[in-house]
Chain A
C-alpha cells in the first residue's frame, strides 16, 4: 500500500491536473480506480473546453492537409477543394463558439493587473448576422429561454417586454450554465458560481473576482427573437 503516491494521485484529480506516473501495487490500483469514479461526481468538469475543441480541430486539419494525398483521401471522397472549404467553415464556427471561453481566458490570464471586479462585456462578432433563435410568442413577459446556435450558447430574457440576452458560458472555466428556475438565476455545475438573469455574479468562491456574463445583442424581428451572431464562413 503506497499511501503517499495514491494521496498525490487523488490530489491531482481533485485539482483537475495530470497525476505523476508511478508503479502502483494491486491495492493501490483499486483505490485509484475508486478515486477516478468518485471524482466524476462533478458533472460539468467532464465537458471539453471550447478552446480545446477548436485547437484540436485546427491541428487535425493541418495534419490532414499535410497527409499524403494518395492515402485514403480518394476513398474518403474528399477533394482538396471540398476539404479546405469544409474545414474553413467548421473551423470558423468552432472558433466563434470559443468566443465566450476566450473572454474568460483573458480574464483569468491577467490577474493582478486589475484587482477590481471585471465589468460585463458585450459579445459582438466582427462580422455578425442576425440569427433567429426563438419564436417571440414563446417567450412571454418574465420568461427566460435557453438558446444555442452554431456559434454561441446563451439565455434570452423577456423582462416586461424588454429583451436581453446573455452568454450561457461560465466566465470561470467555460462550463455551460444551467437555469435555476426556482431561484431565477443561472448556476454553474462545475464550481458553484451563480449569475443573475442580467449576467451579474451572485455567488462565487474564487480568489479572483469573476467577470459578469457577456451580453449578446438581441432584437425582435418579424415575430422572431434574433441574436447578433457570428456570420458563418
Chain B
C-alpha cells in the first residue's frame, strides 16, 4: 500500500482538485473511488474505478441504457474470476477493454447477426483511461449535420437535437409521417457515409 494507498473513501473528494474553487467553474464527473497509480487494493476498487468508464463506453456503442447496463454487467461478471488485483491498473484496464470488445461483438451478432459498432482496444484505450469530462458528441453531431443536404440535416436536427417525435418532425417539415420515416432513414445512411469518410 504505502504511498500508493487510495485515499480514504470517506474523505471528501474535491473532484480531482479542479473543482476546489468556490466559484464552481469546473463541473466534473466524480469518480466513486480514486486509486493509486500502480495497483488496485482489492476487487471493489477495480469495480468502483472502472464501472463508470465502461458504462460510458458501452452506452456510446449501443445508445440505450438497458443494453449498456447489461453489457457493463456482463464485462465485470466475465472478468470477475480471471482478474488478479495484483495486476497493475493498466493491465486491469487492458483486460476489461478486451473483454468489453468481445462482449459487445457477441451482443451485436446475437441480436442483429452483424456488428453495428465495435471497440478497438488500441484506439479506445485512451477514452477508458481518461473519459472526457464533457462529451464532444454534440459538437461532432452539429458538424456532421452541417455537411448534409438541408432536408436531411433538418430531420436529424429535429429528431436528435431538438428531441422532436417523428410525428412532430413530420409536422414541422410539412411532410407525411411515412415520408418522414423514409427521409430519416436516408438521412441516417448519408450521415453514416459522411461519418465514415471523415474517419
A interface list, Cβ under 8 A from B: 1, 3-4, 6-7, 10-14, 16-19, 21-24, 27, 29-41, 43, 45-49, 52-53, 56-57, 59-61, 63-64, 67, 71-72, 75-78, 82-83, 86-87, 89-91, 93-94, 97, 129, 131-134, 138-140, 143-150, 153, 155, 176, 178-179, 181, 231-232
Beyond A33-B117, A76-B83, 20 extra complex contacts between A and B, CB < 8 Å = A7-B184, A14-B159, A21-B112, A30-B189, A33-B195, A37-B141, A43-B135, A46-B59, A48-B52, A52-B69, A67-B80, A86-B44, A87-B44, A90-B47, A131-B12, A134-B14, A139-B22, A149-B10, A149-B11, A176-B30
Taking A146-B15, A150-B9 as contacts, is the C-beta distance between A78 and B43 under 8 angstroms?
Answer: yes
Cβ of B126 < 8 Å from any Cβ of A?
no
**How far does the Cβ of A137 sit from chain B's closest Cβ, in whole Å?**
9
Cross-interface CB contact of A132 among B12, B114, B182, cutoff 8 Å: B12
**How far does the Cβ of A165 sit from chain B's closest Cβ, in whole Å?**
13
Assembly CA distance A123 to B194 (angstroms): 49
Assembly CA distance A89 to B45 (angstroms): 11
**How far does the Cβ of A199 sit from chain B's closest Cβ, in whole Å?**
16
Cβ of B173 < 8 Å from any Cβ of A?
no
When the two chains form their complex, are residues B181 and A7 in contact, meaning their CB atoms are under 8 A apart?
yes
**How far does the Cβ of B148 sit from chain A's closest Cβ, in whole Å?**
10
Cross-interface CB contact of A90 among B9, B13, B27, cutoff 8 Å: B9
Assembly CA distance A89 to B32 (angstroms): 13
- Residues of B contacting A35 with CB < 8 Å? 63, 188
When the two chains form their complex, are residues A41 and B188 in contact, meaning their CB atoms are under 8 A apart?
no
When the two chains form their complex, are residues B84 and A75 in contact, meaning their CB atoms are under 8 A apart?
yes
- Residues of A contacting B22 with CB < 8 Å? 134, 138-140, 143-145
**Cβ-closest chain B residue relative to A91:** B44
When the two chains form their complex, are residues A144 and B69 in contact, meaning their CB atoms are under 8 A apart?
no
When the two chains form their complex, are residues B63 and A13 in contact, meaning their CB atoms are under 8 A apart?
yes
When the two chains form their complex, are residues A40 and B51 in contact, meaning their CB atoms are under 8 A apart?
no
When the two chains form their complex, are residues B77 and A63 in contact, meaning their CB atoms are under 8 A apart?
yes
Cross-interface CB contact of A147 among B9, B12, B86, cutoff 8 Å: B12
User: How many A-B pairs fall under 8 Å by CB?
Assistant: 254
Assembly CA distance A46 to B62 (angstroms): 10
Taking A16-B64, A48-B55 as contacts, is the C-beta distance between A63 and B116 under 8 angstroms?
Answer: no
The 9 A-B pairs of least Cβ separation, nearest first, read: A232-B10, A30-B192, A31-B188, A21-B111, A34-B192, A36-B63, A43-B135, A18-B66, A90-B44
- Residues of B contacting A4 with CB < 8 Å? 181
Main DSSP-derived SS at the B contact region? helix
- Residues of A contacting B56 with CB < 8 Å? 46-48
Assembly CA distance A40 to B77 (angstroms): 26
Cross-interface CB contact of A12 among B64, B81, B84, B165, cutoff 8 Å: B64
Cβ of B97 < 8 Å from any Cβ of A?
no
Task: Specify which of A38, A77, A86, A90 lies most central, judged by the most chain B CB atoms within 10 Å of its CB.
Answer: A38
Taking A43-B134, A131-B12, A179-B24 as contacts, is the C-beta distance between A22 and B112 under 8 angstroms?
Answer: yes
- Residues of B contacting A67 with CB < 8 Å? 80-81
When the two chains form their complex, are residues B73 and A41 in contact, meaning their CB atoms are under 8 A apart?
no
When the two chains form their complex, are residues B188 and A10 in contact, meaning their CB atoms are under 8 A apart?
yes
- Residues of B contacting A57 with CB < 8 Å? 44, 47-48, 51
- Residues of A contacting B14 with CB < 8 Å? 134, 147-148
- Residues of B contacting A21 with CB < 8 Å? 110-112
Cβ of B38 < 8 Å from any Cβ of A?
no
Cross-interface CB contact of B160 among A38, A91, A179, cutoff 8 Å: A38
**Cβ-closest chain A residue relative to B56:** A46
